Chains A and B, each alone.
Chain A
Amino acid sequence: MTRTLIALVEDKPGVLARVAGLLRRRAFNIESLTVGRTQEPGISHMTIVVDSDQTSAQKVAQHLNKLINVIGVEDVSDHPIVARNLTLIKVRVNGGSRAEVMQIVETFRGRVVDVGLDSLMIEATGTEDKVEGLVQVLETFGIVEMVRGGRVAMVRGGQP
């Protein structure tokens, strides 16, 4: 089972190491961890996906909260959230399959971002399920290279 934690942290050197180190020390397996800037200068947003049950996730959230550079952390798994994933996929194509691949990408609302002689690079965003669906279909054409980004998440509604 995975849980999604959102942490707001100070944008200072070493903060990522502190967070990752704490998760390691408490024996948590990190499925994904993304960090990025927020609308406020000096504050970064982390989306952390851990392989854990609810009780352990809450415990680790409390421990993360103790880090001086962590401003706040919450287990949002049971909140209404929007969670998205960005994936880049390079697919092998030839004259015959190029149009078909492009049509599939269109159906999944992905975008072709680079065209080569015998390959296409595709950008897919969405929930992990949706991206996974696209990946499975594209596998039949031959995936040359793929990189999946981590989950980014935000709670729905007017509150930050």
Chain B
Amino acid sequence: MRRTGAQIVWEMLAREGVEVVFGMPGGAILDTYHCLQDYNIRHVLVRHEQGAAHAADGYARASGRVGVAIATSGPGATNLVTGIATAMMDSSPIVCITGQTATHLIGSDAFQEADVTGITLPITKHNYLVTDVDDLAGIIHEAFYIARSGRPGPVLIDLPKDVQQAETDFAPPEGEVRLPGYQPTHRLDAEQIRRAAELVNSAERPVILAGHGVLMSGTAHLVRQLAERMEAVVSVTLLGKGAFPHAHPLSLGMMGMHGEACANQAIQEADLLLALGMRFDDRVTGTTERYAPNARKVHVDADAAELNKIVPTDVAILGDLRDVLGELLALVQPAGRGQWLEQVGVWRRQGRARDVLAGPQNGHLLAPRVIDSLREETQGDAIVVADVGQHQMWTALYYELDCPNALITSGGLGTMGFALPAAIGAQIAQPGKEVWAIAGDGGFQMTLQELGTLIQEGLPVKIALINNSYLGMVRQWQEMFYDGRYESTYLVNPDFVRLAEAYGIPARRVRDPGDVSAAIASARREPGPALIEFEVAREGEEGNVYPIVPPGAALHQMILRPEPRVRLAGTLEA
């Protein structure tokens, strides 16, 4: 079969099972776009290439399949960079295809030329510059294999214009990809598993830490079996939310800088940490010098480079969680750890008493209550895509999840502007599901142009805009750790309701706590997209995320929400 490079791109994408790509055309990728109509692949036209990368990422996270973004050379490709780095940090499988100047012009500073393989070298799992059309089919096949296997990640293919135009005899690559330097599966070390089981069986105060790897390997049910058998309490990372049912009596909730107090206390007092598919991010550990000082550590991960990277372990197990948990379950003895559970129960009750939901209503609209109402109205059954900042932490804390893969957020890179485009990708991956983008006023304005994509594609994504007129998390740090000096965090904002309406998106503003549920219910009744702007408390106790572990402190040194002030004889006690 004679095919051009451009045709091979679509032939190969179709063979890899791709149904949708996110992108924007431009000069150096025009030849590829020119033949798109001949193939049965949906193209979602974004308003900025960053949106394409985030949408592909959101699509990948919501579907478990590889997401695809496509852009032109130079600025098109550099606009992808933030999205690629986001996918890299959160191990999200995406393939990005970028146009490039013709091969004879590469290196000559031609129009819209940028060294995209050079720029993306440290933020991709692998990348390619295709110089010969005969290599193209094999490279695309390899790229998809690398993106989804082992610890997944982004792969970029840079495709010069003349390679897109060149013709060749197309023979689709057959069989498995074999790369001499890439071994995504590992043989388990039985001795390490035996040692891990020994530590588990002899532990008195065990805590299981469940991360993103649990969700990616589809092993939440095995984690639950293990926890129940060993009577271990379970804490989840931000990206591991849903890896263990929140309502389960052994659940501690999220760990880390803004984790549940009882989770952080349990970790610091534990005599065994069993870390599953997580990487001890600094937002999870606080200072590593005083992290879980009394605990033996067993760490299971699919990436050898993560073992002993941050926290020295007693037992490190390299492998897929599905295999490891299977083996481990066979060796772990059922045990009762009543005393430990009782202690954790005390911490949990103390935490609940301090919680904002337990505090008095004073007519102010508090973001945690908004998230709580959203969970109640959606019965926790929506896919929630959170942006980055305070509302993200409130979403993690108050949108309680009992099932896997329901929260999508930028954890590692912390990319503001992620939510809206990622929600677009998630909605396309799961057309039957309710998808909510939750964003702050700062992050929303970084990618709000994708409202155009939303209406062009007719997607029913709902948007909860948590507006406090600040870059809220930065403001909170300035309030708490920088002498209360607010520098460059106050935002003069547009009228978000009229802005949404200009796009034809029904929108309303909520200021009164009493209107929250009705507004959410009415947005849910909209067949298309809808936006609700919640004007929430801006600063102080009511505007801050608690608990918070101060930078450089140990987990147990977290700052808790101040005790609720008690209402006496109709006045607030000072």
Is the Cβ of A66 less than 8 Å from the Cβ of B305?
yes
What's the interface size class on A, roughly?
20 to 34
Q: Give the Cβ gap from B93 to chain A, nearest Cβ, in Å.
A: 15
Known contacts: A59-B305, A59-B309, A62-B305. The answer to whether A67 contacts B181 by CB under 8 A is yes
Residues facing B in A13-63 (CB within 8 A) are 13-14, 17-18, 21-22, 25, 43, 59, 62-63
B305 surroundings in chain A (CB, below 8 A):
59, 62-63, 65-66
Is the Cβ of A14 less than 8 Å from the Cβ of B181?
no
A22 surroundings in chain B (CB, below 8 A):
122
Q: Give the Cβ gap from B95 to chain A, nearest Cβ, in Å.
A: 14
Is the Cβ of B181 less than 8 Å from the Cβ of A17?
no
Is the Cβ of A21 less than 8 Å from the Cβ of B122?
yes
Neighbour of A10 across the interface among B122, B180, B303, B308, CB < 8 A:
B180
Closest to B308 in A: A59
Q: Give the Cβ gap from A45 to chain B, nearest Cβ, in Å.
A: 14
B118 surroundings in chain A (CB, below 8 A):
17
Is the Cβ of B309 less than 8 Å from the Cβ of A66?
no
Q: Give the Cβ gap from A60 to chain B, nearest Cβ, in Å.
A: 9
Known contacts: A59-B305, A63-B305. The answer to whether A68 contacts B179 by CB under 8 A is yes
In the complex, whether A70 has a CB less than 8 A from a CB of chain B is yes
Bound complex: CA A122 to CA B21 (Å)? 61
In the complex, whether B79 has a CB less than 8 A from a CB of chain A is no
Which of B117, B129, B181, B308 has the most A CB atoms < 10 Å from its CB? B181
Contact with A along B103-128 (1 / 0, CB 8 A): 00000000000000110011001100
Is the Cβ of B121 less than 8 Å from the Cβ of A71?
no
In the complex, whether B304 has a CB less than 8 A from a CB of chain A is yes
Bound complex: CA A105 to CA B136 (Å)? 54
Is the Cβ of A70 less than 8 Å from the Cβ of B121?
no
Closest to B123 in A: A25
A63 surroundings in chain B (CB, below 8 A):
305
Known contacts: A63-B305, A65-B305, A68-B146. The answer to whether A18 contacts B121 by CB under 8 A is yes
Is the Cβ of B122 less than 8 Å from the Cβ of A9?
no
Bound complex: CA A67 to CA B118 (Å)? 15
B121 surroundings in chain A (CB, below 8 A):
14, 17-18, 21
Is the Cβ of B122 less than 8 Å from the Cβ of A68?
no
Is the Cβ of B181 less than 8 Å from the Cβ of A70?
yes
Bound complex: CA A71 to CA B303 (Å)? 16
Closest to B312 in A: A55
Q: Give the Cβ gap from B20 to chain A, nearest Cβ, in Å.
A: 26
A68 surroundings in chain B (CB, below 8 A):
125-126, 146, 179, 181-182
Interface size of B by CB at 8 A reads 18
Bound complex: CA A65 to CA B307 (Å)? 13
In the complex, whether A87 has a CB less than 8 A from a CB of chain B is no
Residues facing A in B294-320 (CB within 8 A) are 303-305, 307-309
Q: Give the Cβ gap from A67 to chain B, nearest Cβ, in Å.
A: 7
A119 surroundings in chain B (CB, below 8 A):
none
Known contacts: A62-B305, A63-B305, A68-B146. The answer to whether A25 contacts B181 by CB under 8 A is no
Is the Cβ of A65 less than 8 Å from the Cβ of B126?
no
Neighbour of B117 across the interface among A14, A62, A66, CB < 8 A:
A14
A62 surroundings in chain B (CB, below 8 A):
304-305, 307, 309
In the complex, whether A69 has a CB less than 8 A from a CB of chain B is yes
Q: Give the Cβ gap from A106 to chain B, nearest Cβ, in Å.
A: 45
Q: Give the Cβ gap from B142 to chain A, nearest Cβ, in Å.
A: 9
Bound complex: CA A62 to CA B125 (Å)? 14
B182 surroundings in chain A (CB, below 8 A):
68
Bound complex: CA A66 to CA B118 (Å)? 18
Q: Give the Cβ gap from A68 to chain B, nearest Cβ, in Å.
A: 4
Q: Give the Cβ gap from A37 to chain B, nearest Cβ, in Å.
A: 16
B117 surroundings in chain A (CB, below 8 A):
14
Closest to B155 in A: A68
Closest to A55 in B: B308
Bound complex: CA A17 to CA B120 (Å)? 12
Closest to B151 in A: A66
Residues facing B in A96-151 (CB within 8 A) are none
Closest to B309 in A: A59
A66 surroundings in chain B (CB, below 8 A):
303-305
Is the Cβ of B181 less than 8 Å from the Cβ of A10?
yes
Bound complex: CA A56 to CA B363 (Å)? 55
Which of B118, B146, B179, B305 has the most A CB atoms < 10 Å from its CB? B305
A18 surroundings in chain B (CB, below 8 A):
121
Bound complex: CA A100 to CA B307 (Å)? 57
B129 surroundings in chain A (CB, below 8 A):
13-14
Residues facing A in B167-206 (CB within 8 A) are 179-182
Bound complex: CA A157 to CA B307 (Å)? 30
Is the Cβ of A69 less than 8 Å from the Cβ of B309?
no
B308 surroundings in chain A (CB, below 8 A):
59
Closest to A62 in B: B305
Bound complex: CA A10 to CA B126 (Å)? 14
Bound complex: CA A22 to CA B124 (Å)? 12
A21 surroundings in chain B (CB, below 8 A):
121-122
A71 surroundings in chain B (CB, below 8 A):
180-181
Is the Cβ of A25 less than 8 Å from the Cβ of B122?
yes
B309 surroundings in chain A (CB, below 8 A):
59, 62
Closest to A22 in B: B122
Q: Give the Cβ gap from A107 to chain B, nearest Cβ, in Å.
A: 44
Bound complex: CA A10 to CA B305 (Å)? 20
Bound complex: CA A17 to CA B115 (Å)? 13
Q: Give the Cβ gap from B14 to chain A, nearest Cβ, in Å.
A: 25
A9 surroundings in chain B (CB, below 8 A):
181
Bound complex: CA A14 to CA B130 (Å)? 12
A10 surroundings in chain B (CB, below 8 A):
180-181
Q: Give the Cβ gap from B437 to chain A, nearest Cβ, in Å.
A: 32
Bound complex: CA A106 to CA B265 (Å)? 71
Bound complex: CA A65 to CA B309 (Å)? 14
Bound complex: CA A10 to CA B125 (Å)? 16
Bound complex: CA A25 to CA B305 (Å)? 15
| Leading 10 A-B pairs by shortest Cβ distance | A62-B305, A71-B181, A68-B126, A71-B180, A70-B181, A63-B305, A68-B182, A25-B122, A21-B121, A62-B304
Can you list 10 A-B pairs, Cβ within 8 angstroms, ordered by A?
A13-B129, A18-B121, A21-B121, A59-B309, A65-B304, A66-B304, A66-B305, A68-B179, A68-B181, A71-B180
Chain A interface residues (CB < 8 Å from chain B):
9-10, 13-14, 17-18, 21-22, 25, 43, 59, 62-63, 65-72
In the complex, given contacts A62-B309, A68-B146, what are 16 additional A-B residue pairs having Cβ atoms less than 8 angstroms apart? Answer: A14-B117, A14-B129, A21-B121, A21-B122, A59-B305, A59-B309, A62-B305, A62-B307, A65-B305, A66-B303, A66-B305, A67-B126, A67-B181, A68-B126, A71-B180, A72-B181
Chain B interface residues (CB < 8 Å from chain A):
117-118, 121-122, 125-126, 129, 146, 179-182, 303-305, 307-309
